[in-house]
Structure 1
Amino acid sequence: MSVDENFAALRKIYPEVQLMEQGGQKVAFIPNLMLKQSGQTVSLQALLWPYARDGYQTRLFLEKKVDGEAKNWKSFNLLGKSWWACSWRGVQANLPWPVILANHLRAL
């Protein structure tokens, strides 16, 4: 799938998603990613990086660390902001973006 097709598929789930660019790569900014944390639903900003980066096939960056299976959180500066990503491997870049996101959410 092309970037446009992947973005359109993600927009069906998150209508507010925005396509952004960092270092020549198109990434998806999700301003309202809803997660269950400690029995409550919380809204977080997220950045889906559907390409290889830092030794990972794909990455999901969040505005803050969250509880869950995720381990080894590390801070990154992307798009002029600090983001957090955990160590979660094996999410392939050739998958559709909604599937990449779903696989990363398993860690949370």
Structure 2
Amino acid sequence: MSLPDDQLRALREVNPEARVLSEGGLTYVFLPKQPIQVGEQGRAMDALLCPNKYGGYDTRLFLEHPITERGANWSAHVILGRTWHTFSWNGVSSAQPLMQILLAHLAVLR
């Protein structure tokens, strides 16, 4: 899966180090130290955006650590040689621009 340059540029406006990675025929966007708002608290942690189908979900957002105060339904996955954590949240369409996919996943954590 090739990602549109204009959509990657938009992601780099909020995370200048965003870069595309691939594994097993899937494309990911690595977002180092991605700002994440959890309630009133801001955090930064590595994130991996998967804008394609993964495990029955249209898109996924993987984080370096689970955010346990936002639900206990977290699972761990090894991707690109690293353990990532994700929560059960479906319905974020891959037909949207990358920024909208990211924002839709992050909104659940607020």
Question: Normalized against structure 2, the TM-score is what?
Answer: 0.87
Rounded to whole Å, the distance in 2 between the matches of 1:15 and 1:107 is: 23
Deviations 1:3-25 (A, max 9, x none): 13322221122111111111122
Give 1:56's aligned residue: 57
Q: Name the SS for the 1:107 alignment partner.
A: helix
Give 1:14's aligned residue: 15
Gaps of 5+ in 1: none
Bigger Cα displacement from structure 2, 34-43 vs 16-25: 34-43
Q: Per residue, is there more helix in 1 or in 2?
A: 2
Give 1:90's aligned residue: 91
Gaps of 5+ in 2: none
Amino acid at match of 1:54: G
Identity %: 36
Amino acid at match of 1:75: A
Q: How many residues align?
A: 107
Amino acid at match of 2:76: S
**Structure 1 pair 38–9 and aligned structure 2 pair: CA distance change class (3 A):** closer
Bigger Cα displacement from structure 2, 14-23 vs 83-92: 14-23
Q: Name the SS for the 1:56 alignment partner.
A: coil
Q: Name the SS for the 2:30 alignment partner.
A: strand
Rounded to whole Å, the distance in 1 between the matches of 2:46 and 2:24 is: 20
Rounded to whole Å, the distance in 1 between the matches of 2:68 and 2:39 is: 8
Rounded to whole Å, the distance in 2 between the matches of 1:49 and 1:66 is: 18
How many angstroms does 1:48 deviate by? Answer: 0.2
**Structure 1 pair 91–29 and aligned structure 2 pair: CA distance change class (3 A):** same
Conserved in 1, the CA contact under 8 Å of 2:27 and 2:52?
A: no
